[in-house]
Structure 1
Amino acid sequence: MTGCSKPEEGSTGTESSGASDQKSMALVVSTLNNPFFVTLKEGAEKKAQELGYDLVILDSQNDSAREMTNTEDLTVRGVSAILLNPADSDAAANSVRAANRAEIPVITLDRGANGGDVVSHVASDNIAGGEMAGEFIAKKLGGEGQVIQLEGVPGTSAARERGEGFMKAVKATNLELVATQPADFDRTKALNVTENLLQAHPDVKAIFAQNDEMALGALKAVQAAKKDIIVVGFDGTEEGIKSVEEGGLAATIAQQASMIGEVGVETADKAIKGEEVEVYTPVELKLITKQS
C-alpha cells in the first residue's frame, strides 16, 4: 500500500523514499500469523495512509523478547508514536517503558500492558464479550449442562478478561465448567486439547473458545468425535463468521479488528498533535449467530 511499509520478518519495513520529514508511526503487532491481527494491521494501514503517515509494521511473532527488540529499534528510528499489540501484557511493560524513555507516546491495541505509561488503550470490552458468550450458551442449553473453556495465551489481558466475563455468566446459571485449559489462541493446539478434553468429559454440551482460531480447531475435534456440542468463538474473523453461516460454529463474538487498527491510528495522530485523548476507547462488539 502506497505510503505504508510492508511487514517483513525481523525488519522494520521500508523507508519512504526521499521523505526524511515524512510523518511516521509504528505498529508492533503480536503476530501476523493470525487473521484477526492481519485485519487489524490492514485497518491501521488504511487510516495511516488517509492521515498522511508512513506506517512501520513489525511482527513480534508472539515473542516478548522480539517485541522488546522491535520497540527499542523504533526508539532509535524516531517514530512519532507506537501502536503496540502486546504478545504478553506483563512483559509488554518493558516495551512501553523503553518508549517512555524516548518520549514516544504508546497506544495499546486489543491487549493492554501491565506497566509503563500508556497514552490510550483501544480495544473491545473483552469482559462483556466473554459474558455475552456465556449467556448465549446458557440460553441454548436451557441454563444447565457441562461446558469447557479454551483459553488464549496465558498472561494476555484478552485471555484474562474474556475468561472473567465468561465465568461471570457461568456462575449466574447452572452451567457446570468441567475444564478450562489454554490452547494459546492456536487452531492446531485447540484441536489437540479438545480431543483430549472430550475423552475426559464425554457429556460436555458446549465449548467456549476465546478466539475463532481455537473455536475452529475445537469444532474439528467435535465433528471428528461425532458429538452434538455447541462451539462459540470470539473475534468475528471472516472464517469464523463463514462457519457460523454454514452451521458450524454456533456463534462468534465479533470484534471489529479493522476498526481497532483505524481508531488506534486516529488516537496516535491526536497524541502526536498534543490533543487530548481518551484513556480507554471501546470498540463495539456484536454477537453473530446464523439468524443474525
Structure 2
Amino acid sequence: MKHKTTSVLMAAMALSLGFSGMASAQDAAPQHYTFGLMLSAMTPYFATIKSGAEAEAKKLGVQLLVEDGNNNSITQNNQIDTLIARKVNLLLINPTDAKALVPAVEKANAAHIPVIYIDRKADGGHAIAYFASDNTQAGAQACQYIANKLHGQGNLFMLLGISGASATNERTAGCESVLKSYPHIKVVARQSGGFSREGGLTVMRDVLIANPKLNAVYSENGEMAIGAMRAAAAAGRLKGLTIAMIGSGSFGETQLVKQGKIALSVAQQPAVMGALGVQAGYSYLSTGTVFVPVPLHMDLAPSHS
C-alpha cells in the first residue's frame, strides 16, 4: 500500500531582495538584538519551532527569550506585556487565540516593536511577516485524499484543533471546501482535540462508540492523530480506517505513515518556520527589508509499507 507525506509552507520573502536580503544581512557587521519567541504551547511540534529558531539565533548572535503560553491566551498576553516592558527588539508570536492576542500585538505596535507571526496569526494588529504552513491548502489536501480513498462515500470524523486558533479555522475551511463536492461523505462529528495527543485519544474513544461504521478521520495535527490512532487500535478498529493528518514531519509520525497506521501526513516544517522567522527579524532590523507572503510548496514524498 502506498502512503504519502507531502509538505506545504507559507513563507514571507523579501519584497525586492528575496532571500538574498537575508544573506546580505548575515554578511554585514554583526548586530546584537534580543528577540522574544512566544509559543502557544511546548508540544513536540512547537519545541521543533523553538529548536529551529534557537539554532538560527545562535548563528546570528541574537539573544532569544522563549515563553510557553500553555495554551492560555491570558498567560500569553501577560508574557508579551513583560517582554514589551523589557524592550526586546522584536517579537516572534505564535498566538494561542487569533482574537484574544490582538491587544498584545497592538501594544507591541504602539511600542514600535516589530512583530512576526509563526505558524498562526492574530486577527488584528500589524506584523512585518508571517511564516506558517498554507493551512487552507493543507486541510484541502488531507480531505481530498480521504475523499479519493472513500471513493466519495463514507463516514468521516473531523478532529479539529483549538477553537479560535487561526490554524484551526484555516485547516477546517480547506477541508470543508473539498467536502462540498462529496455529498455522500457524511461528517458524523466535528470535535476539538485541543491539538493534543490525549485530547485526540479521548474524543476518538467517544466517536468510535457513537459510530460503529466509521471510515475515516481527518486530524488537524499529528499529536491528535496519534491519539486517535491509539484509540482505534485499542478498540480493534484501526484496520480499514483511513487517518489523514496535518503533521509535523517528525520521525515518529513518518514511521507511522510507513507502517500504514496513518494513511497520509501533510507534513509541515516547523524548524524551518522558526529559522526563517529569526532570519526575517534580523534582516528587517539590520536592513529594513520589507516582506510579503509567498507560498512555497514542497515536493510530494511517497513511501511504501
Q: TM-score range by the shorter chain?
A: 0.7 to 0.9
Q: Which moved more, 1:209-218 or 1:173-182?
A: 173-182
Q: Among residues 173, 190, 194, which one is paired with 2:204 in the alignment?
A: 194
The verdict on how the C-alpha distance between 1:288 and 1:167 changes in structure 2, with shifts beyond 3 A counting, is farther
Q: For 1:3-82, what aligned pairs fall within 5 Å after superposition?
A: 22-32=32-42, 34-82=43-91
Is 2:225 the counterpart of 1:211? no
- Do structure 1's residue 171 and structure 2's residue 180 form an aligned pair? yes
In 2, the alpha carbon distance for the partners of 1:149 and 1:286 equals 26
1:96 has 2:105 as partner: yes
**Please, which moves more after superposition, 175-184 or 80-89?**
175-184
What residue number does 1:239 align with? 252
Letter in 1 for 2:243: V
Displacement, 1:281?
A: 4.7
Alpha-carbon distance, 1:100 to partner = 1.0
Identify if the C-alpha distance between structure 1 residues 289 and 90 changes in structure 2 by more than 3 Å, giving closer, same or farther: farther
Residues 1:117 and 2:157 are matched in the alignment: no
2:94 paired residue number: 85
Residues 143 and 286 (structure 1), Cα distance of their counterparts in 2 relative to 1, 3 Å cut = farther
What TM-score results when the alignment is normalised by the length of structure 1? Answer: 0.88
Matched position secondary structure for 1:117 = coil
The one-letter code sitting in structure 1 at the alignment partner of 2:204 is T
Q: Which runs of 4+ in 1 moved over 3 A?
A: 281-292
Maintained 8 Å contact 1:111/1:156: yes
Does the 8 Å CA contact 1:133/1:208 hold for their aligned counterparts?
yes
Alignment TM-score, normalising by the size of structure 2? 0.84
Instruction: Tell me what 1:136 maps to.
Output: 145
TM-aligned CA distance change 1:56 to 1:256, over 3 Å = same
Residues 252 and 287 in structure 1, CA contact (< 8 A), matched pair in contact too: no
Cα gap change, 1:214 to 1:287, in 2 (>3 Å): farther
Q: Which region of structure 1 is more displaced relative to structure 2, 106-115 or 273-282?
A: 273-282
- Unpaired segments ≥5 residues, structure 2: 1-30
**Secondary structure of 2:172 counterpart:** helix
In the alignment, the residues of structure 1 paired with residue 91 and residue 243 of structure 2 have an alpha-carbon distance, to the nearest angstrom, of: 36
Change (3 A) 1:147 1:201: same
Percent sequence identity over matched residues?
Answer: 34
Task: Report Cα offsets for 1:76-134 as digits up to 9, x if no partner.
Answer: 21111100011111111111012112110000010011111111111110000000001
Q: 5+ unaligned residues in a row in structure 1: which ranges? A: 1-20
**Aligned residue type for 2:245:** G
Deviates more, 1:272-281 or 1:121-130: 272-281
**Structure 2 residue aligned with 1:268:** 281
CA offset digits 1:125-153 (Å, max 9, x no partner): 00000000011111212222111100000
Matched residue count? 271
Distance 1:26 1:283 in 2: 26
Residue type of the alignment partner of 1:261: G
Q: Give the distance between the partners of 1:141 and 1:198, measured in 2 at CA.
A: 18
Q: Which has the higher contact order (CA 8 A, sep 6+)?
A: 2
